[in-house]
């Protein structure tokens, strides 16, 4: 038996103002997208903004459904829109902001497992890391320089061979 350890690394910024200018803009777009969420069941609003290598920004928000599992998270709404509309363009970064409709939280909200898996697919597809920034509505922002920091031992297409 051999024990193995996985170390994951992330950065914590005190506020959005500490981020590089382009990423501040990206997070502002995620905040705007959050306000467009359709979340009448959970009242938990999530916004995501994706920065492409051509400097375009693609946004998404969570879209719920009366048949609960049919809804989709903000991150996947955004990344699938990017994949569908810019299939050949490299994705540089993803910014996420999340929190309940009427309460301001400050604890950064990381993407769920299914969204991590979805973003990992695009990272592998483009062979370039995707930076992920996540926060609540206000306060600290966490950053990983690659999605895989959030999803060690990821399942990917190489296992299908
Ligand atoms: N949600 C997201 O949009 N992203 C996540 O990473 C976690 C959860 C949404 C799904 C649902 O509409 C609401 O937040 C409550 O789970």
Residues 38-55 pLDDT 10s:
999 999 999 999 999 999
> Counting atoms of ligand 1 from 1, which one is nearest the CA of 71?
12
What confidence tens digit (pLDDT) does each residue in 124-134 have?
999 999 999 99
Nearest Cα residue to atom 10 of ligand 1: 73
Give every CB contact of residue 75 below 8 A, 6+ residues apart in sequence.
Answer: 46, 48, 60, 94, 96, 111, 112, 115, 118, 119
Measured CA to CA, the distance from residue 138 to residue 89 in angstroms comes to 30
Pocket test for ligand 1, best of 68, 73, 109 (most atoms within 8 A of CB): 73
| Confidence grade of residue 79 (pLDDT, cut at 50, 70, 90) | very high
Q: What is the pTM of this model?
A: 0.97
What's the mean pLDDT when you consider all of the chain?
98
pLDDT for position 96: 99
The helix (H) or strand (E) run that includes residue 51 is: strand 44-52
Confidence of residue 143 (pLDDT cuts 50, 70, 90): very high
Task: Report residue 84 as tokens.
Answer: 């569908």
Taking the centre of ligand 1 as the mean of its atom positions, its distance from the CA of residue 44, in whole angstroms, is 7
Report the chain's C-alpha Rg in angstroms: 16
CB-CB contact of 79 with 52 (8 Å): no
Q: Ligand 1: distance of its center to the CA of 16 in Å? A: 21
Is residue 95 within 8 Å of 131, Cβ to Cβ?
A: no
């Amino acid at each position: 038996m051999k024990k193995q350890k996985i170390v994951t690394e992330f950065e914590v910024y005190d506020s959005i103002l500490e981020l590089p200018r382009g990423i501040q803009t990206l997070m502002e777009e995620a905040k705007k997208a959050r306000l467009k969420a359709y979340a009448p069941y959970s009242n938990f609003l999530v916004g995501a903004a994706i920065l492409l290598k051509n400097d375009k920004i693609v946004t998404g928000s969570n879209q719920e459904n009366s048949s609960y599992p049919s809804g989709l998270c903000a991150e996947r709404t955004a990344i699938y829109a990017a994949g569908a509309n810019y299939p050949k363009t490299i994705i540089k970064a993803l910014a996420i902001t999340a929190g309940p409709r009427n309460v301001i939280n400050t604890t950064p909200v990381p993407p769920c497992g299914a969204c991590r898996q979805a973003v990992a697919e695009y990272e592998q597809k483009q062979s370039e890391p995707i930076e992920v920034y996540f926060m609540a509505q206000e306060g600290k922002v966490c950053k990983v320089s690659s999605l895989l920091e959030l999803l060690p031992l990821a399942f990917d297409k190489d296992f299908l061979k």
